[in-house]
Amino acid sequence: NKSRKNQKISTQNVRRTDRHFKRNEQMSKVWKFDGLLQEEGWLTPCYVKTDSKGHIEEISQIRPNDTGHLESVEGFVIPGFQNSHSHSFQYAMSGLAEIHPDPASQDDFWSWRETMYSIALSMNPDQFEHIAAMLYAEMLSHGYTHVAEFHYVHHNKDGRPYSNLAEMGERLVSAAKTAGIGITLVPIFYQKGGFGKKAVEKQRRFISKTSADYLELLSASDKATNNYSKANIGLGIHSLRAVDQHSIGEAFQESKHSPIHIHIAEQLKEVEDSLAFYNQRPVEWLLDNFNVNKKFHLVHATHLSENEVAGIARSGAHVVLCPSTEGNLGDGIFPLHSFQEQSGNWSIGTDSHIGLNPLEELRILDYGQRLTTHRRNQFISPTNGDSGLFAVDMALTSGRKAMGNSNETYFKIGQPMDAVVIDSKSPLIATCEAKNILSTLVYSGDRTNVYGTLVDGEWKVKDGRHQKLDGILSNFKKSLSELKIR
Ligand SMILES: [Zn+2]
């Protein structure tokens, strides 16, 4: 009986903790899992020893010589998913833009954006933080252990900066800390209302007038990440339509070692406007005017010519694909097949959070390609034909780069034990050989397959439940009832 057994384990845990350690102080411990994914394949069974910070000390097939606490888990462990693109506040409007009272009227990305603006204008910092904390707890429940927050709601409702310039960014870091997810805060430079156009009133909370203003915000945001050991900073340009050429150049000069995130070519109208203004397509223009390199993460990059596909791949830049949101907004389909043939790198993001399941993002991405090409093997794997493994590996390795994390090893000694534990007892996992686990998971899995999520060697989600759900949910409900948007 699963729940009884888990109860027993957790009771033992608590007793030992009480006897030997103060509250909130982690102990070094040994985990036993049914299997752990490594680059060479599954290690079955697997013991992992973690230190007092939750970092990995040892990985082996036999139990380490250690008298410390052993926690035995009936699960297969894979590295935590990386969510490379998030606008946390948009979670509050998930599903709400699907009611179309006038069937004759045109509803598209741009009309959706009007609703999104009014929600962005309505939130105070507390509400903003509570929504983000709920979202991040839900992300953890789906197996994400790190998120890149593409953050542009910077200022007070009247458009004036808060006395703490990075007030709202600090709230996101605080929300991530509450939920226990890693965060790469990407404060966004947002300057204009469109190519060559002034920002409009509705965009007042987003605006940095000059690159100097933005760099000040970036520096304040960087300081805000000091409040949490799992927070770091990235640099972000909203889009080519939102910042002028000169200012983009000035911002890029400050990028130091950070990842650089930018929305690009999401909508056809954006491509048309770019052609009208710059006489070039967005990606074409970006590649021609800046030293685009492997630090760049081009979000969406939906509409590309063959030259642009080749140009991105050659530059080493990554793309961030958000298939559930891109589908929901009717953006279009990224030319994945051609990009992969040229060894392009991509990761996934949940963007507007209409979907939060990383497995679903991978499937929608694959199925979009299958539906348009009538071929099934779309994820191109140079080493073997396992689409599930390829998808998990690509989303992880490119996703970590989107976070500014240079670790290329799935589980590495000295690195945090951030992992998703797949329930060994779910029917299809319980009955398949280790080599079939990832394809089974990616193509037939959902949240119910996630037994738990570990961050820094601690259960953030256990037995499908976030450990701080009650408090986070109650704040979320309070804020949503104040906002009256749902
Ligand atoms: Zn976005």
Distance 226 CA to ligand 1 centre (A): 25
Give φ, ψ of 454 to 5 degrees.
Answer: -110, 135
- Hunting for tokens 């252990």 — which residue is that? 145
pLDDT of residue 283: 98
Q: Is the peptide bond before 45 cis (omega within 30 degrees of 0)?
A: yes
pLDDT over threshold 60, residue 198: yes
pLDDT mean over 234-242 = 97
What local confidence, expressed as pLDDT, does residue 382 receive?
67
Predicted local distance difference test score (pLDDT) of residue 17: 41
- What is the crossing angle of helices 211-224 and 167-179, to 10°? 30
Measured in Å, residue 351 CA sits from the centre of ligand 1 at 5
Question: Would you state the pLDDT for residue 2?
Answer: 38
Average pLDDT estimate for 417-437 = 97
CA dist 164 and 23 (Å) reads 33
Contacts of 310 (CB under 8 A, 6+ apart): 342
The token pair that represents 152 in the structure block:
């542009």
Return phi, psi of residue 346, to 5°: -140, 155
Q: How far is the CA of 150 from the centre of ligand 1 (A)?
A: 7
Question: Which secondary-structure segment (H or E) carries 341?
Answer: helix 336-341
In whole angstroms, what is the distance from residue 438 CA to residue 385 CA?
Answer: 12
Spatial CB neighbours of 335, under 8 Å, sequence gap ≥ 6: 304, 309
Percent of the chain residues topping a pLDDT of 70: 94
Tell me the one-letter amino acid at 464.
Answer: G
| C-alpha span between 375 and 20 (Å, rounded) | 58
Quick one: pLDDT at residue 378? 86
3-state SS, residue 37: strand
| Tens-place pLDDT, residues 248-268 | 999 999 878 799 999 999 999
Instruction: Using pLDDT thresholds of 50, 70 and 90, give the confidence band for residue 10.
Output: very low
Residue 370 CA, ligand 1 centroid: distance in Å: 25
List of residues 6+ apart from 464 with CB closer than 8 A: 141, 447, 448, 450, 451, 452
What confidence score (pLDDT) does residue 67 get? 67
Q: Report how far Cα 23 is from the mean position of its chain's Cα atoms.
A: 31
Stretch (H or E) spanning 58: strand 56-60
Residue 299 has pLDDT above 70, yes or no: yes
pLDDT in tens, 131-189: 999 999 999 999 999 999 999 999 999 999 999 999 999 999 999 999 999 999 999 99
Distance, CA 461 to ligand 1 centroid (Å)?
A: 27
As given in the structure block, the two tokens for residue 93 are 């409007």
The residue with tokens 């909508």 is 267
pLDDT band at 26 (very low <50, low <70, confident <90, very high): confident
Computed over every residue of the chain, the mean pLDDT equals: 92
Check whether 327 has a pLDDT greater than 60: yes
Mean pLDDT score, 318-339? 96
Task: Report which secondary-structure segment, H or E, holds 361.
Answer: helix 358-373
Q: Which of the residues are catalytic?
A: 300, 351
> pLDDT tens across 55-93, in order?
999 999 999 887 678 999 999 999 999 999 999 999 999
Q: In terms of DSSP H, where are the helices of 234-297? A: 245-252, 268-278, 282-289
How much is the average pLDDT of 338-356? Answer: 96
* Statement: residue 213 has pLDDT above 90: yes
Question: For residues 284 and 280, what is the distance between their CA atoms, to the nearest angstrom?
Answer: 6
pLDDT (0 to 100) of residue 383:
65
Calculate how far, in angstroms, residue 256's C-alpha sits from the geometric centre of ligand 1. 23
What spacing in Å lies between the alpha carbon of 42 and ligand 1's midpoint?
35
Higher per-residue pLDDT: 278 or 12: 278
Which domains does the chain carry? 2-79+419-455 (2.30.40.10), 81-402 (3.20.20.140)
Per-residue model confidence (pLDDT) at position 104: 77
